[in-house]
A and B are shown apart, each in its own frame.
Chain A
Amino acid sequence: MSVSGSESGRGRVGLFVTCLADLFRPSVAWASVQLLEQAGFEVAVPDRQTCCGQPAYNAGDLPTARRVARGILDAFEPFDYVVAPSGSCAGMLRLHLGRLFVSEQETAARAEHLARRTHELTEFLVDVASWTGVAAEFPHRVTYHDSCSSLREMAVRDQPRALMAQVQGLELVELGDRDVCCGFGGTFCVKYPDISTKMVSDKTAAIAATGAETVLAGDLGCLLNIAGRLAREGRPVACRHVAEVLAGTTGTDPIVPVGP
């Protein structure tokens, strides 16, 4: 296990990178590390982590989900907090892992212990760390997409907005349909692509209606879906994870570069 160099003593955070950030967009994880360190925590990234197991769990494949979940329980045992830059994965760890082990008392207790320590990134920064030290600038009109798991499983709604309000120059315009799903839904989007397409098209139309230059969100799954549809429709709107903006690491390209 590798631990980042940080002077602080507010506690040790194990970063749950999430498989999508790991594979598709490492900048989200770097930004998360930076924010957690700025907030005064020591950040570790256990290298035995892979995925939260949702693809199997939501497909009804409990044996596979269990196999993956055991790895998570081992990897994140030693931390004061477990933080994920995703409401969806944090929701899996907090609300669903325990369900997998109802017939294994000891493992269920470990899952319960993990659930109590697990947080979504913005929720952790605001509610647990009471951190108000955002030092970033983003002089753009943005809109924010709430992922369904953030909103409904993790009660994350005001926290990212409180943090965005500290970003210099950022102007937030809310979506007209802000409590409606973007149509990602994990494997749903490839199992029922026509319905998913209709849903994401409604979402990109709502995004366009805000006049925002950039869409931010706290979940990479939604962002890949929305960015992919915006690009296909040729709409010049950039997509980024909110952590990148909060950390001021927006030098990288947005999820799909905007323009020809």
Chain B
Amino acid sequence: MMDGAAAARFPEASARALGDENLQAALRLLGEGFQARRTDAVERFAGFEDARDAAVAAKTRTLRNLDRHLETFEARCREHGGVVHWAETPADARQIVLELLTDRGVRALSKGKTMVAEEIGLNGFLEANGIEVIETDLGEYIIQLAEEAPSHIIVPAIHKTMPQVADLFRQHHDQAKAGSFPRRTPADLVAEARAVLRRRFLEADAGLTGANFLVAETGSSVIVTNEGNGDLTQTLPQLHIVLATIEKVVPTLADGAAILRVLARSATGQDMSAYTTVSTGPRRPSDVDGPAEYHVVLLDNGRSRLLGTPAEEVLRCIRCGACMNHCPVYGAVGGHAYGWVYPGPIGAALTPALLGVGAARHLPNASSLCGRCEEVCPMRIPLPKIFRYWREQEHAARLNSERMRLGLALWGWFAARPRLYRLATGVAMRVLSRLAGRSRRFRSLVLASGWTRSRDLPAPAGRTFLNSWKRRS
């Protein structure tokens, strides 16, 4: 798991990211790829705005009575032979998963894509306890080989270019068979990974998946994937563990369908993902396959504390990734700079809730508040408003820089006294204007070095408008 301290190093990490040629090449594909495909998908589907409203309504209704829906979910799940475990903290969740595995002598766990496993640092913990983790999602598999963290919530290896992936496969895959893998096109790489992974699916004694949502009325968990790896992860082994956070529950299947109508369109621009898998309890006598045991680990990790605060709307998130696909800051620095599990706008809104405002203070600040994320968010989460909320918390707790606080206080003092403000700005602008000379710009200015390092500062005209206006009238 990346530790929270990395989020505090956002400025350094983002500077490095901006200088990383490979990363920049990978990020350039966001525009033509995800953005264009989402736009097309939305244009193809006349009912998209209504579908958004329906999904928002479903989730809002859920959150209003979250505890009740969770209880219903547990009861229904139990009726179908499943077991629900409650975990308040990441440590609780890790321990529950570990015990489920060790009690049954599991040595190898196959794993579908789940951000919650990243959130609790599950892979490292299990490996330290002697359990092999087999990633079955292609992107997760790539970063597992590279020993890196995901940099995007739906495309974990988006920061890797094709030649980098080919190199990883060259290093890690069976050399004896190297000749049979051409590694010339993305399709070659997918075929190679599939050949290697298929074999390993079968070695696993247990499978762990996340959940795109949980359905209270049926006690089911639902995942969507494009690779079909989720199906194999949860049906082949004897034990299926679902790891999900509490806000993933929705009251009914119809509510789940409302989410599905906007999820893939927002994420990848598909009308639907290739596979939608509903799991309800363990295998019944009449089933052809399925696990002997079905467990759901429900993690809170600070989410219930968000209910009733101005940040609670982040709990509507369905992890589609549209906000990061369209964010110019994410597009500039990629996901790793954010230093923790959730990057981009959703990360900037959610991470302060999970790690604390102190550790995550840069994330909600590193935004121009342009609002493009909110515009594309299928769940209409007011992300910029939530960034501001965290900034307010930061300011109130005096976690921002002393220089910033002083600057604001001084500026505010003048701005609330128009006569003095007029006098002071009048003098300042006249001086600045003179200093600028005939070029009408500053190439460097000590007090504005953040600006002038990369751009000229246009000179002020000289006399301020309000001072001139007074003379005119």
Q: How far is the CA of A201 from the CA of B455 in the complex (A)?
A: 10
Kindly list chain A residues whose C-beta atoms are within 8 Å of the C-beta of B470. Answer: 2, 47
- CB-based contact B415/A60 at 8 Å: no
- CB-based contact A228/B412 at 8 Å: no
A220 to B: closest C-beta gap in Å? 10
Kindly list chain B residues whose C-beta atoms are within 8 Å of the C-beta of A168. Answer: none
- CB-based contact B371/A152 at 8 Å: yes
Q: How far is the CA of A188 from the CA of B384 in the complex (A)?
A: 13
Q: Which residues between 237 and 291 of chain B lie within 8 Å of chain A, taking CB atoms?
A: none
Kindly list chain B residues whose C-beta atoms are within 8 Å of the C-beta of A50. Answer: 414-416, 418, 421
Binary contact readout A32-67 vs B (1 if CB under 8 angstroms, 0 otherwise): 000000000000010111110101111111101101
Q: How far is the CA of A150 from the CA of B246 in the complex (A)?
A: 38
Q: Which residue of B lies closest to A233 (CB)?
A: B455
Q: How far is the CA of A244 from the CA of B440 in the complex (A)?
A: 18
Q: Does A257 contact B (CB under 8 A)?
A: yes
Q: Does A124 contact B (CB under 8 A)?
A: no
Q: How far is the CA of A71 from the CA of B415 in the complex (A)?
A: 9
Kindly list chain A residues whose C-beta atoms are within 8 Å of the C-beta of B18. Answer: 194-195, 198
Q: Does A158 contact B (CB under 8 A)?
A: no
Given A59-B391, A180-B372, A183-B328, the answer on whether A192 and B457 have CB atoms closer than 8 Å is: no
Kindly list chain A residues whose C-beta atoms are within 8 Å of the C-beta of B365. Answer: 188, 191-192
- CB-based contact B461/A25 at 8 Å: yes
Q: Does A249 contact B (CB under 8 A)?
A: no
Kindly list chain B residues whose C-beta atoms are within 8 Å of the C-beta of A58. Answer: 369, 388, 391
* Additional A-B contacts beyond A25-B460, A195-B333 (19; CB < 8 A): A21-B465, A24-B460, A26-B464, A59-B404, A60-B390, A64-B412, A68-B415, A71-B418, A153-B371, A179-B372, A190-B451, A191-B366, A193-B451, A199-B329, A228-B451, A253-B440, A255-B458, A256-B440, A256-B441
Can you list 7 contacts pairing A with B, beta carbon distance less than 8 Å?
A: A23-B464, A148-B370, A188-B367, A193-B451, A196-B368, A227-B456, A229-B456
Closest 7 CB pairs of A and B: A185-B368, A60-B391, A228-B455, A64-B412, A190-B450, A181-B370, A26-B465
Q: Which residues of B contact A (CB under 8 A)?
A: 11, 14-15, 18, 31, 328-329, 332-333, 365-372, 374-375, 388, 390-396, 400, 404-405, 408-409, 411-412, 414-416, 418, 421-422, 425, 429, 439-441, 443, 448, 450-451, 453-458, 460-461, 463-466, 468-470, 472-473
Q: Which residues of A contact B (CB under 8 A)?
A: 2-4, 17, 19, 21-27, 29-30, 45, 47-51, 53, 55-62, 64-65, 67-68, 70-71, 148-149, 152-153, 177, 179-181, 183-186, 188-202, 224-225, 227-229, 231-232, 253, 255-257
